């Protein structure tokens, strides 16, 4: 199994247990490195990073991944941006990120970027 790093866990929308298919949403990393997950039908539970990496598979939400990346690299989101500019930005982000995230689509990039600039 390919090891997931802490950054990937944080940006994952949900982690899924391979054993029983239960969904778990990432909540926090405590100072001692313990991972806090909100587990479906069980509630909040704490696991070591090693346990999470061994027993769970990360399902990344690509649109959230792009959103987080773009927000870290732009200064202002309160500007009026045309659809053409959003498309241009999404192409650049897609070219950069698709090397690492092979299942990322340009549509996901565009929706994430359009969403950033459409917020009120």
Greater model confidence, 12 or 68: 68
Predicted local distance difference test score (pLDDT) of residue 22: 65
Q: What is the rounded average pLDDT for all residues in the chain? A: 78
Q: Is the pTM above the cut of 0.85?
A: no
CB 37 within 8 A of CB 48: no
Predicted local distance difference test score (pLDDT) of residue 50: 79
Predicted local distance difference test score (pLDDT) of residue 15: 55
**Highest mean predicted confidence (pLDDT) among 45-59, 68-82, 92-106:** 92-106
List the chain domain ranges. 6-60, 62-118
Euclidean distance between CA atoms 103 and 41, whole angstroms: 30
Predicted local distance difference test score (pLDDT) of residue 4: 63
Q: Is 109 exposed, middle or buried (0-12, 13-18, 19+ CB in 10 A)?
A: buried
State the DSSP code for 33.
S
Q: What is the mean pLDDT of residues 65-81?
A: 81
């Amino acid at each position: 199994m390919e090891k997931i790093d802490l950054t990937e866990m944080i940006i994952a929308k949900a982690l899924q247990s391979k054993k029983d298919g239960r969904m778990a949403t990432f909540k926090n990393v405590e100072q001692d490195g313990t991972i806090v997950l909100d587990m479906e039908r069980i509630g909040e539970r704490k696991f070591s990073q090693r346990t999470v990496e061994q027993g769970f598979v990360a399902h990344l939400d690509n649109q959230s991944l792009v959103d987080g990346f773009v927000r870290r690299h732009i200064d202002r989101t309160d500007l009026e941006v045309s659809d053409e500019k959003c498309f241009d930005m999404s192409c650049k982000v897609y070219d950069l990120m698709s090397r690492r995230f092979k299942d990322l689509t340009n549509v996901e990039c565009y929706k994430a970027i359009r969403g950033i600039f459409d917020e009120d």
